[in-house]
Structure formats: structure tokens, C-alpha cells
């Protein structure tokens, strides 16, 4: 469910007409709904009410500070994967004890910053990383709380580029080697083992891969406790998918996911951490764009938009589908026609959809890409010297620009010209 609906023939974001925002902000832009963000967080939080837990929002999905503050006010923790994301979380007022640091390539400086500023735990991805954390912690005279990410070799049945739990993926250590790695962690100074971490991928639409992975984690918990380790937390990652098309079978609900987690690990008495990103932010955001031209080609017609692959790269990168709808509701009975929907960037890959059935549209009409709140703005670039597009947040009948569009001068003036030129 989201809060982008037609009212009296016009698309609204909560209580604000989308066209009104477009008139003031200009297109293209990202638009987020506060009500959708908070609703989706609460669904996860309530789904784990059967035991101690923390829902850590995966910031890589959408990391504007206004979004972070909105979720932190509801009690969310944060899952970060870089020093920059850690700094964003701190700047948004999230306390260190609610920040989990994931990612395969944590640097010495990132580890030092997190230990100095406060951290709930590091999710360790390799033995070399674990040793560096130990060295930094000792140099600071502190203990670093850690989990170790295990790779359970489970097929998440998702797109190959977002699968993370198979043996050939770069993430975590093989679960078969977990006991020896935990034994080394117990010997290293400056480390405090607090639990186990697992994350098998993104955009999962079935519970079975989760349950298979979590069953392996439960067995490992018992084995590590028998070895003398104090395992009090289970970080189960994120990855629950969203319906990108209205015709697709809906992924499992957070309530169904929460019940499965209880079945798999509830008997262990551990605090459960989960790290949803897409399911919280995905349907909470749309991308609004304007038709520049309708081009009649040979055998097909094109809608050329002012939004491009640099603004929303998912279709080019993942062959991802987004429902695209007109901001003005089509008249009943209007016959749709097929369009290739493309952007202005000089790449054939700058194509959002092929032969997509749409109502007849004209230059100047507005369209909205649904389910664009996750991995949209955060993956955008300035390719072709196109400015990063604004982000806008709606709450009720109010809206605010939470990231402005830079000018060409802003972009160009970031360049430094060598003195010899």
C-alpha cells in the first residue's frame, strides 16, 4: 500500500496534488510520502513484537536525512555500509547504539570513526577485516562489538546482481568455517562477539530461502554456544521484496515474515535485528517526469521524457520494471497504445520500458514512476552534466524540498583547474 492515489482525476501524494509540486519544483524530481514510510516501518516493528528486536533501516535504499529523521523518530535503527552513511546517520540524530555497520570493505578510518562516535556492532565480513577492527579497537582502548556474517550458500531466487548468500558471492565467510573464525575472534584483543549476521539478497518474493538460511543460523547458534561463545543477537539482514507491478503475485507480508522468523529462531532467546530497506522506502517514493516529445518512429512510438537513466538507473542496470502512470487520470474507456518510454541521454540503454501500454500522451504531460523510492535518488549521477534531481517529502497537506536541484554553475564550479591551464 502507498499514499499516491488519484483524487478527482489528479494524482495526489497524501493530500497534495503532484502537479502542484511539479509546477513549483520543476521536473524531474523524486517525491516521498511520510505516511507510507512510517506505515511500512511500523509493520515490520509490529511483526517482531513477539520478542526483543530492533528494525535497522538499510540506508542504502534512500539516505536523505529527512527520511532518516522520519524513521528514527519512530524508533528505527540504521544499517550503514560506508563511512559516509555512518556520518549521515549521526547527523540525522541517530545514536550510535542504534547503528549497525555492514559492508565488505570497511576501511581503517571508517572503523575508527564508528568506534569513536559509537556503534551498536560491526557485521564482520572477513578475517582480515576482523583483525583490523581488533587493531583499531586496541589502539583506542575500547572493545568493538561484532557479529560475523556467515554465507549459508542459499539461493535467494532473485536477480543475480542482488543475490548475496551463495558460495560464489563476495559476502561473508562460508558457514562451514564459522566455528574456527569465531574461535579466532574470541582470541583477538579488543573484540566482543555479540552474535551472528546473515543476509542472502534483495527483492526476495518467497519465504522459503529465508527460512532455509535462518535454520542454518539457528544450528550455528547452538554450536557456537556449545563452544563457549555468548550469542545474544541474530542479525537476519533484509531483502523482503515489493510488488513492482500490480499484476504480479504479492511478496509475503511483514507479518508472515515475522511469524517465520519466530518459527526459525524464536526458541533461541536472542534479540533479533532485521535490516529492511526496499520494503520501507520502495513504495514510499515516486519519480515524476515530463514528456518532452512524442516521436513517431518506424513501427513504434516513443515517449521522450526529461527524466533519464542517470536519474533512475534501475531499468538499465537490473532490467527492472516500474509501473509508469499519467499524473492526470486517463478518461474511462480511453484506448491505451504502446510506447517505448525513453530518456534524453545519449545511450540506447536510456530506456525505461518497451512497448508499454499507456493512454495517449502529449508533450508537457506528467508521468509518475511508481515504486521508485528505493535505489533511485541514491544511485543517481550527473552523467551528461545533468543535475541531480530534487527530492521532495510530503506530510499530509505539506511538502518540502529536502534536496534542491543544483545549478549548472554549482556543478561546474566544483571542478578545480590546474594552474598550468
103, 119 contact by CB (below 8 A): no
- Check if 346 is active-site: yes
3-state class (DSSP) for residue 286: strand
DSSP for 129-145?
Answer: HHHHHHHHHHHHT--EE
Q: Going by DSSP bridges, is the β-strand pair 398-403/10-13 parallel, antiparallel, or unpaired?
A: unpaired
State the burial class of residue 194 (Cβ atoms within 10 Å of its Cβ: 0-12, 13-18, 19+).
buried
Q: Given the C-alpha cell 561484532, which residue does it identify?
A: 146
DSSP 355: E
DSSP for 154-213?
Answer: ----S-GGGB--STTSSSSEEGGGHHHHHHHHHHSTTEEEEEEE---BSSB--SHHHHHH
Q: Going by DSSP bridges, is the β-strand pair 285-296/324-326 parallel, antiparallel, or unpaired?
A: unpaired
CA 256 to centroid of chain Cα atoms:
21
Q: Which of 1, 331, 346, 417 is catalytic?
A: 346
Distance CA 164, CA 210 (A): 12
Strand partners, 380: none
For the chain, the first-to-last Cα distance in angstroms comes to 56
Can you state the percent helix, strand and coil of the chain, rounding each to 5? 35, 25, 40
Residue numbers annotated as active site? 346
Amino acid at each position: 500500500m502507498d499514499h499516491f492515489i488519484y483524487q478527482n482525476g489528479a494524482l495526489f501524494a497524501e493530500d497534495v496534488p503532484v502537479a502542484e509540486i511539479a509546477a513549483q519544483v520543476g521536473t524531474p524530481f523524486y517525491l516521498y510520502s511520510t505516511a507510507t514510510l512510517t506505515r511500512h516501518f511500523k509493520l515490520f516493528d509490529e511483526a517482531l513484537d513477539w520478542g526483543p528486536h530492533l528494525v535497522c533501516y538499510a540506508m542504502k535504499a534512500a539516505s536523505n536525512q529527512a527520511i532518516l529523521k522520519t524513521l528514527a523518530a519512530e524508533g528505527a535503527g540504521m544499517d550503514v555500509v560506508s563511512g559516509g552513511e555512518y556520518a549521515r546517520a549521526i547527523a540525522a540524530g541517530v545514536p550510535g547504539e542504534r547503528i549497525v555497520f555492514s559492508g565488505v570493505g570497511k576501511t581503517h578510518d571508517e572503523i575508527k570513526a564508528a568506534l569513536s562516535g559509537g556503534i551498536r556492532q560491526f557485521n564482520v565480513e572477513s578475517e582480515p577485516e576482523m583483525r583490523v577492527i581488533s587493531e583499531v579497537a586496541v589502539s583506542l582502548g575500547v572493545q568493538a562489538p561484532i557479529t560475523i556474517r556467515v554465507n549459508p550458500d542459499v539461493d535467494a531466487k532473485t536477480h543475480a546482481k542482488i543475490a548475496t548468500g551463495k558460495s560464489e558471492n563476495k559476502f561473508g565467510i562460508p558457514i562451514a568455517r564459522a566455528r574456527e573464525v569465531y574461535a579466532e575472534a574470541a582470541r583477538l584483543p579488543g573484540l566482543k562477539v555479540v552474535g551472528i549476521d546473515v543476509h542472502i539478497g534483495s527483492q526476495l518474493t518467497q519465504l522459503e530461502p529465508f527460512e532455509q538460511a535462518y535454520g542454518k543460523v539457528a544450528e550455528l547458534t547452538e554450536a557456537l554456544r556449545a563452544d563457549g561463545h555468548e550469542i545474544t543477537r541474530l542479525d537476519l539482514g533484509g531483502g523482503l521484496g515489493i510488488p513492482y507491478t500490480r499484476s504480479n503475485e504479492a511478496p509475503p507480508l511483514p507479518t508472515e515474515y515475522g511469524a517465520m522468523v519466530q518459527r526459525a529462531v524464536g526458541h533461541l532467546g536472542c534479540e533479533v535485528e532485521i535490516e529492511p530497506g526496499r520494503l520501507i522506502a520502495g513504495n514510499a517514493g515516486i519519480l515524476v517526469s515530463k514528456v518532452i516529445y512524442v516521436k513517431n518512429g518506424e513501427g513504434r512510438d516513443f515517449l521522450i521524457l526529461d527524466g533519464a537513466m542517470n536519474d533512475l538507473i534501475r531499468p538499465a542496470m537490473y532490467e527492472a520494471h516500474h509501473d509508469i502512470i499519467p499524473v492526470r487520470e486517463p478518461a474511462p474507456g480511453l484506448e491505451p497504445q504502446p510506447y517505448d518510454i525513453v530518456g534524453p541521454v545519449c545511450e540506447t540503454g536510456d530506456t525505461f520500458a518497451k512497448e508499454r501500454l499507456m493512454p495517449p500522451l502529449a508533450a508537457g504531460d506528467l508521468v509518475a514512476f511508481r515504486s521508485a523510492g528505493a535505489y533511485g535518488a541514491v544511485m543517481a549521477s550527473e552523467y551528461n552534466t545533468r543535475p541531480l534531481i530534487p527530492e521532495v517529502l510530503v506530510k499530509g497537506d505539506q511538502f518540502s524540498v529536502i534536496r534542491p536541484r543544483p545549478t549548472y554553475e554549482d556543478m561546474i564550479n566544483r571542478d578545480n583547474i590546474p594552474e598550468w591551464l
